[in-house]
Structure 1
């Protein structure tokens, strides 16, 4: 049992996947569900981070796009932490929950690779959490200068090559999680 670890699923909301799906959307959702199953098998909490944007936007609370993606295997008692900026740790809610649960290590996957996932990884490290990046369970849409595939590959490379992090940083496929 990994009682000191938790899985963070960041911003996997309907508007992030529809109507224009990001890179490998269906595959990423399936891999996130595999990670959820592995986390549950190990007794790890599964925490969903949900972005709240201002009224009138795609991620406004209560809007159809704001909802967590229905393909996720979420249980009714899984915690949901809300955020209003890219950094999941900006307000103390997530950090306080992880501290309450005794978590020192987080697995991270979700959307969008180049914004909220990168923020979550770097902020988790700066809050002294060891981090495992789910290299095949994060995604984004095409960007003006790079495809979604290129963004994902680039950030996996960046995270693999980050030196001198305050805690361990591992990048691995969902199938390799232990």
Structure 2
């Protein structure tokens, strides 16, 4: 039984195709699908996380996962209301029940939900591999989405003070 799961965070229509289109979205979707294929070849669970809030109501068209994602029956789902995918969800129990100690992580938004979830997972002792070309965000504040993605990949890749290794790899190298 594999000890690794693929966690895809908030790649929802209203998140990545909203008012602003997420940076590098077409290649991010391609790389997420490559990661999904690799996970399935290895018998790893694929977990889709979906965020909901007042402007992203559960079940709405905007709340739906992006239609280009290679979903299958049997994929797992986690629903959340906060940036961190562990906060008030059953994610920790789900991972424990599958014997998961390592995560491949991709999704949206790099600087919010992906980063929050990754940091909590590191604190919980998971070994993390960020799929460096399979996460995205929109331009905000003074930075472009591309700059945010590149900055977080560099920061995560330089992080060595973690209980378990934290790696950043492109989907092709998983």
Q: Runs (4+) of structure 1 moved beyond 4 Å? A: none
Q: Report the secondary structure of 2:107's partner residue.
A: strand
What does residue 17 of structure 2 align with?
Answer: 18
Taking the aligned partners of 2:89 and 2:144, their CA distance within structure 1 comes to: 34
TM-score normalised by structure 1 residue count: 0.94
State the Cα RMSD in Å.
1.0
Alignment of 1:61-100 (within 5 A): 61-100=58-97
Taking the aligned partners of 1:150 and 1:82, their CA distance within structure 2 comes to: 29
Q: Deviations over 1:22-50 (max 9, x none)?
A: 11111101110000000000110000010
**C-alpha displacement of 1:92:** 4.6
**Structure 1: gaps (5+ residues):** none
**Structure 2: gaps (5+ residues):** none
**C-alpha displacement of 1:170:** 0.7
Taking the aligned partners of 1:18 and 1:51, their CA distance within structure 2 comes to: 14
What does residue 31 of structure 2 align with?
Answer: 31
Q: Deviations over 1:123-168 (max 9, x none)?
A: 1111111000000000001112100000000000110111210111
Q: Report the secondary structure of 1:125's partner residue.
A: helix
**C-alpha displacement of 1:98:** 0.2
Asked if the contact 2:8–2:47 (Cα under 8 Å) also holds between the matched residues in 1, the reply is yes
Q: Deviations over 1:6-34 (max 9, x none)?
A: 00000000001224311111110111000
User: Given the alignment, which residue of 119, 122, 129 partners 2:119?
Assistant: 122
Taking the aligned partners of 1:62 and 1:9, their CA distance within structure 2 comes to: 18
User: Given the alignment, which residue of 152, 157, 166 partners 1:160?
Assistant: 157
Taking the aligned partners of 1:175 and 1:147, their CA distance within structure 2 comes to: 25
Asked if the contact 2:11–2:108 (Cα under 8 Å) also holds between the matched residues in 1, the reply is yes
TM-score normalised by structure 2 residue count: 0.96
